[in-house]
Chains A and B, each alone.
Chain A
Amino acid sequence: MRVRNTGLTGVRRSLPYAALVIACAFALIPIYWTLNTSLKLEGDIGAYPPKWIPDPPTIEHYVNIVRSSSLPRNYMNSIILAIGTILLVLVLGVHAGYAAARFEFRGKNAILFLMLSTVMIPGIVTLIPQYFLAVQLGLYDRFIALFLVFGAWQVPTVVWIMSGFFRSIPRELDESSLVDGSNRIGAFYRVIMPLSWPGIASAAIVVFVWVWNEFIIALNLTASQSTRPLTVGVFFFVGETGIEWGKMTAAAIVGLIPVIVAFIFLQRRFVSGLTAGAMKG
């Protein structure tokens, strides 16, 4: 009886671990399988039964896409888009977030509500007129159109993250620096901004991951390899490559690396930025 009991509790104790192991397997299988396929020899990829590890492994697919595809160019474009969008939304959103956190003025709640509710708009609704506008204004297939559209989508998130962050900085700090003779904007730049880097970093990583991963907007506002970001590049590459699984999976892994690296090193910032949008306080 006693033995049976401990046996049962043993099983009950290990059940959570078993569940977590299965969940981790679910989370990792698609990523692992893509990596695995990308490192196999072309002849091994379709083997039946499949090879669970690449044996022998090869980097020929990676060499191939670096040497003879437009993906390196797409990569550069994604970096340009990420940096440009991050700079734009931080410059705008940090100031607006400060105003939202520190001042009471007429229409503030209405404005914040309007900005935040844009999060609920399906991107495709605005994309059609944005496409029209971009063509009419001569911005189609140019980075500037993507900066503006990406910026408009991400600025509300940044305002939200930053205003939450500024509220956590004591008001007395602004006030004491005002007494010292700084004007309001000077107080903000000299006293509050230097304390805000953790919040700014959280906002930046959330925006980076969003821009790096964005696909549908970029697909329809770009037309040439000189502006297409990596997601769009991979989409066309896969479409044109057909059944060369090795090259396609290698392209996907190359596209995945920056966000995975950023996520692993900045996980806490990423999670706090992500939850800031949905949790109060």
Chain B
Amino acid sequence: MTVGQASLPYSRSAVKGRSKSHALFPWLLMAPSVLLVLLVTVLPIVQAVSLSLRETFFLEQGQFIGADHYKRFFADPSGHRNIVTTLVFAAGSIALTFPLAIGLALLLSRDFPGRAVVRTLLILPWVVSQLLGALMWQWVLSPNIGAIAYWLGKFVGGRVDILGTTNTAMAGMIVANVWRTYPYAMILTLAAIVTVPQDLYEAAKVDGANARQRFFSITFPLIRPTLLIALIILTVNAINMIELPLILTGGGPIDVTDLLGLRVYREAFVLQNFGFASAIAIVMFGMNALMSIAYIRVLRSEA
């Protein structure tokens, strides 16, 4: 009796101590990563919001001015321009990337000689940096030395300056973006297609479904969650684009390719209007947040 009573508090505290160290141990493992992200990524966002509400003069922060920077951005036609060009760029990129990526993934999901080599070649643009990809497209479209500019010139007769012409600059920039991003959508789609059970196709064949019906009634519903994830990641990627307009067009001709990202970059690091630039960056962040919410909804509904 006495032994039992004496042992009870002892074993209880042992259990308690154990569960406590249990809770502490994973936190210790997590803490350095969490701290790094909090200090270097999350805290600066708070500061960006604060900067966007203040007068700034180079690196000095002045008085609180409320939403003035935002009002100025939205009241200005150039602000509308930035938003429209960004949406056109993102929509154009997505509209070209996905049919291309899904088509190629379907082709690559079949077995044929040389498939591994073809797959490697098709993924290659994804490992090329944004900067080098932009430079390469500048050269290949250059009326002075470019192969594609030469072919297009033969086709229409005369010299062609895609990136220097108002009507075609955005199209050139979209193609350059599609070139670098379709492999990502293609790899994800391919990975999803491979997981579709083969007997579903067999059953559909027995029922007399043709290839198109099989795609739309079996493959597409099953790869849809993956497609949505790729869709949102690549949309965010397009909304945040800086390198392509910076290298290819500088935002021109006039302002037809002046994307939001380039505007933020210019206001901040060229003109040193850090407060105003922060406000535009927060607007950009808002556009991304909308996409992120969609991304998380997809992940949740999948779980």
Contacts and interface: CB of A to CB of B under 8 A. Distances in A.
Nearest to A103: B26
Interface string A215-248: 1100110000000000100110010000101001
Nearest to B133: A30
B291 A259 contact: no
B222 to A, nearest CB: 13
Contact of B281 (A27, A125, A151, A280): A125
Given A99-B30, A263-B124, A235 B131 contact: yes
Q: Is the interface of B mostly helix, strand, loop or mixed?
A: helix
A215 B243 contact: yes
A264 to B, nearest CB: 7
A241 B188 CA distance: 39
A23 B32 CA distance: 44
A173 interface: no
> How would you classify the secondary structure of chain A's contact residues: helix, strand, loop or mixed?
helix
A267 B126 CA distance: 12
Interface stretch (B7-15, B45-53, B76-84, B165-173): B45-53
A124 B22 contact: no
B233 A278 contact: yes
Contact of A278 (B22, B42, B132, B230): B230
Given A126-B48, A216-B265, A151 B132 contact: no
Contacts of A102: 26
Given A105-B27, A128-B48, A92 B33 contact: yes
Interface stretch (B65-73, B139-147, B198-206): B139-147
Given A33-B139, A115-B33, A124-B284, A231 B132 contact: yes
28 contacts: A16-B112, A27-B121, A27-B125, A29-B147, A31-B125, A31-B128, A31-B136, A33-B136, A48-B150, A50-B147, A95-B32, A99-B26, A115-B37, A120-B295, A122-B240, A122-B261, A124-B261, A124-B265, A124-B281, A129-B48, A135-B59, A215-B130, A219-B269, A248-B139, A267-B120, A278-B226, A279-B191, A280-B302
Interface of A: 16-17, 19-20, 23-24, 26-31, 33-34, 37, 45-46, 48-50, 52, 92-93, 95-96, 98-100, 102-103, 105-106, 108, 111, 113-115, 117-118, 120-133, 135, 148-149, 151-153, 155-156, 159, 184-185, 209, 212-216, 219-220, 231, 234-235, 238, 243, 245, 248-249, 252, 255-256, 259-260, 262-264, 267, 270-271, 274-275, 278-280
Interface of B: 22-23, 25-27, 29-30, 32-34, 36-37, 39-45, 47-48, 51, 59, 100, 103-104, 107, 110, 112, 118, 120-125, 127-133, 135-137, 139-140, 144-148, 150, 179, 183-184, 187-188, 191-192, 226, 229-230, 233, 236, 239-240, 242-243, 247, 261, 264-265, 268-269, 274, 277-278, 281-282, 284-285, 288-289, 291-292, 295-296, 299, 302-303
